[in-house]
Amino acid sequence: MVQTDKTPFASSWVMVGTGVITLALAYSTWYSFSVFFVALLKEFNWSRSTGAGAFSLFVIVHGIISPFVGGVLDRFGPKKIFILGSILIGMGLMACSRIDSWWEFYIYFGLLTAIGVGSTGWVPNTTLIQQWFKEHRGLAMGIISSGVGIGIFICVPAIQFLITRFGWRVAYAIIAFAIPLTIILLALILIREPPARDSFVCPINSSKDSFQRGERARQSWKIRQVIGKKQFQLLCLSFFFSSVSIHAILTHQVAFLVDQGLGALFASYIVGLLGLVSIGAKILWGVLSDRIGREVTYTMGISCAVLGILVLLIYPSSPSAYLPYAYALFFGLGYAVMASLPPLITADFFEGPSFGAIFGMIQFVNGLGSAVGAWFAGFIYDQAGSYVPVFVTMIGCILFACFNIWKVSPRKARAAKEKTLK
């Protein structure tokens, strides 16, 4: 990426580093649900569908506010929304440490914490990266996506340790203080407004004429226009079903492993290993998608996810000590592609000043898929007493998501954009 001076270039990578840390912290509240889930089931003897319902509400609310977060960010900038979101995370998690019933958990975690995470999470961070980067966007997006993996790798086992050592109530109280404080400090010290559009120049020809051609290549999309487009609808369909599969597995993975006789702390290490794999994988998939195309890269990742689920299907009948690690490897690779490519694919079609609001709409659909997946897996388990039908269904959902990525053809959108810029 070439820019008119060194300051915007340096600042753009500072934004990437800030995004990594912010996403790691914000989404540790999301992905640590699987370890709190086991502790809460033991404490209150809830059914798995009742417990998972709180997470479903969480991701629905997270999705509902995403378009509004994107719109507010586009209009008012990032600092205020990050600070407000952090305060809400702290309030919600602290309240979770005091719950005595399922409906309290639904309000404090499923509603209040969800609004906070949505205001500090994927939509505002990816929107900032989209605004700061024109070249090497896949690399930048892959790096910040790895922040979620870092949160899974470091925070989830750490939170399980706190639960084992001090109990789930103390664990909630500790993260209610630590996470918001860190994000607020990052927002106050490091987060900056994106540079004016004319601070980005064409790496080959920095003339005014070439810049104007680049401006014409970016459509000023309106939400009403986008919703009616076939490409948007296909993307929503694909991302919905990929989210169903991801969160059916991620929400119930610890419970499944504990059911197979593994200790809760060891199961959290497997989750952490999955997060570790996804750190490098998100960067790899982002860079690879810039070079060989989104569809091929997505298919490679989807194949890994299917292999990971097949490992879970095999494990009860052949409980090898190596299979949990194989699951972490393959599903970590698959989860990474389904997390890192959606903002890139969306930007291929709908880059422009309204990207935050448009991607917020995509995240709303993702949230619905995540909610359905988490609750559906618990419901099926309650009915069948097994996760086998869940795993088989999730393989079908993943393959359907991949089919729709090929159908929407982001390679054609990128080719058309590059042709316009020539």
Instruction: Give me the average pLDDT of each 10-residue run along the chain (422 residues).
Output: 47 82 90 88 88 86 80 76 93 95 94 93 79 70 79 86 93 95 89 57 35 43 73 90 92 90 88 87 86 91 96 91 93 90 84 73 83 89 91 95 90 65 51
Tokens (6 digits) for 41: 């089931």
How many whole angstroms separate alpha carbon 361 and alpha carbon 71?
10
pLDDT for res 7: 47
Amino acid at 90: G
Any idea what the CATH number is for the domain that residue 152 is in? 1.20.1250.20
How many whole angstroms separate alpha carbon 7 and alpha carbon 10?
5
| Assigned domain for 218 exists | no
pLDDT for res 208: 40
How many whole angstroms separate alpha carbon 400 and alpha carbon 317?
28
> Cβ contacts of residue 188 below 8 Å, gap of 6+?
79, 83
DSSP category for residue 98: T
Do 357 and 223 contact (CB within 8 A), yes or no? yes
| Assigned domain for 1 exists | no
| Assigned domain for 122 exists | yes
Distances (CA, A) of 300 to 23, 303, 335, 397: 25, 5, 11, 16
pLDDT for res 209: 39
How many whole angstroms separate alpha carbon 74 and alpha carbon 224?
17
| Assigned domain for 162 exists | yes
Structural domains of the chain, count: 1
> Cβ contacts of residue 110 below 8 Å, gap of 6+?
53, 54, 55, 56, 57, 58, 61
pLDDT for res 2: 39
| Assigned domain for 212 exists | no
pLDDT for res 368: 87
| Assigned domain for 205 exists | no
Strand partners, 200: 3
pLDDT for res 211: 31
| Assigned domain for 108 exists | yes
Its domain, for residue 105, covers 9-192+225-417
Tokens (6 digits) for 156: 């989830």
Residue pLDDT, tens place only, 301-336 = 999 999 999 999 999 988 888 999 999 999 999 999
> Cβ contacts of residue 399 below 8 Å, gap of 6+?
302, 306
Residue 206 CB: number of other CB atoms within 10 A? 13
Residue pLDDT, tens place only, 81-105 = 899 999 999 999 999 999 999 999 9
> Cβ contacts of residue 216 below 8 Å, gap of 6+?
420
Do 408 and 346 contact (CB within 8 A), yes or no? no
| Of 246, 249, 195, 251, residue with least CA distance to 51 | 251
| Assigned domain for 186 exists | yes
How many whole angstroms separate alpha carbon 236 and alpha carbon 301?
19
pTM of the model: 0.71
Rg (C-alpha) for the chain, rounded Å, is 21
